[in-house]
Amino acid sequence: MSDAQLERAAGDEAPQPEPASLLALRSPLADPAAQRAHLEQLELDDTMSGGCFERAVAGASGGDELRAGALEIVQINLGRLCNMSCRHCHVDAGPARGHQVMSRETVDDCLAFLDASGAQTVDLTGGAPELSPHFRFLVDACARRGKHVIDRCNLTVLLMRRNQDLPEWLAERRVEVVGSLPHFRRRSTDGQRGAGAFERSIEGLGRLNRAGYGLGDPHRVLTLVVNPVGAFLAGSQRAMEREWKQMLQREQGVSFDRLITITNMPIARYLDWLEVSGNLRRYMDLLISSFNPATLEGLMCRSTLSVSSDGRVFDCDFNQVLELEARPTGGRVAHIRDLDPASLQGRRLVTARHCFGCTAGSGSSCGGALDP
């Protein structure tokens, strides 16, 4: 499909949410270098470790640096094309991002790397990964290889005509669906994602339930992922799961298997919101003062590799947004096709101020809280 066709497919089947992407607004913060500079220029000398993440880690670990362990998860960003434009989106995704969709050639390169790496989990993300013309091919290829496949789904994408069969299709391949939902209340969800988003999300959950997801089947796992809707940290993951299960079943008649919380990172569209709302310094103070050394061992960057839609490699999805490329032992590698899996273990992980988001409070990773 051409860029124009992809963008039409993403945008013409559902009411458009209110937020607009930084790219569409021509915001300076659409530039990753501008985001990095904005965070680094923030005056934080009076905070713990002076706002230096590396210093905080060294102080908590006896001077050690963060280094990668064995690779377990390959997270593949299939592109920033999405049928939504959420206020908190850390990749600034939206319907006008059809030019940033992974090519079939790069998909094949990712599969070749998987074969060589031994990683057992493939985490598909976006944008809306389901809008990639190669999504189903990649899922099938990973399933044939016996990999555990995760689809990070915004739920509303399941209502598009092209995806009517997708819940059943994913269930047949035992794909874990990680569906994002800001809140179990309409007002909070629509406030973050635009008018009508809550109703469409609940309909998406209902379709997944009817396909066997969220009913306790270990082969059809439905996980909900929650980002706080304001400038604060998420509450107890266990307590939130109990509350959400009760409220969604009672009020909406839908169910899910587990809930995970992810801290909003001060990057991209959320960084812009923090700045405009006057919350940036206060939020960074919160992240830094909430630094939890117990989270360091389980940080996702220690066992995950993130691959961008153009094939570049990063230690995590957030570094990908900021274009802070991974540093394999032996030197920089420009593309996944050239990466030796052996060069990943023990590499020094690339960090900066935004990393305080992963170590604040109970911690945060793509798999949820680290110290729940």
Percentage of the chain lying above the pLDDT 90 cut: 81
Q: What is the pLDDT of residue 27?
A: 86
Fold of the domain built from segment(s) 3-359: TIM Barrel (3.20.20)
Note the pLDDT tens digit of each residue in 113-124: 999 999 999 999
DSSP 211: T
Distance CA 53, CA 130 (A): 35
Q: What is the pLDDT of residue 18?
A: 46
Distance CA 87, CA 191 (A): 8
Q: What is the mean predicted confidence (pLDDT) over 292-303?
A: 96
- Decide which of 229 and 234 is more confident: 234
Is 12's pLDDT higher than 90? no
Q: What is the pLDDT of residue 93?
A: 79
Pick the range with the lowest mean pLDDT from 140-144, 209-213, 298-302, 332-336.
332-336
Q: What is the pLDDT of residue 357?
A: 97
Is 228's pLDDT higher than 60? yes
**Helices (H), ranges, the chain:** 3-11, 22-25, 32-40, 53-60, 104-117, 135-144, 166-172, 186-193, 197-210, 237-252, 268-276, 280-289, 317-322, 356-359
Q: What is the mean predicted confidence (pLDDT) over 89-106?
A: 84
- Decide which of 96 and 360 is more confident: 360
Q: What is the mean predicted confidence (pLDDT) over 247-263?
A: 97
Distance CA 202, CA 331 (A): 47
Distance CA 120, CA 100 (A): 26
176 forms beta bridges with 150
Q: What is the mean predicted confidence (pLDDT) over 191-213?
A: 95
Per-residue b or e along 256-295, where b marks 16 or more CB atoms closer than 10 Å to that residue's CB: bbbbbbbbbbbbbbbbbbbbeeebbeebbebbbebbeeeb
DSSP 81: B
Confidence of residue 16 (pLDDT cuts 50, 70, 90): very low
pTM (global) more than 0.85? yes
The number of beta carbons lying within 10 Å of the beta carbon of residue 18 is 14
Distance of CA 235 to the CA centre of its chain: 19
Confidence of residue 11 (pLDDT cuts 50, 70, 90): very low
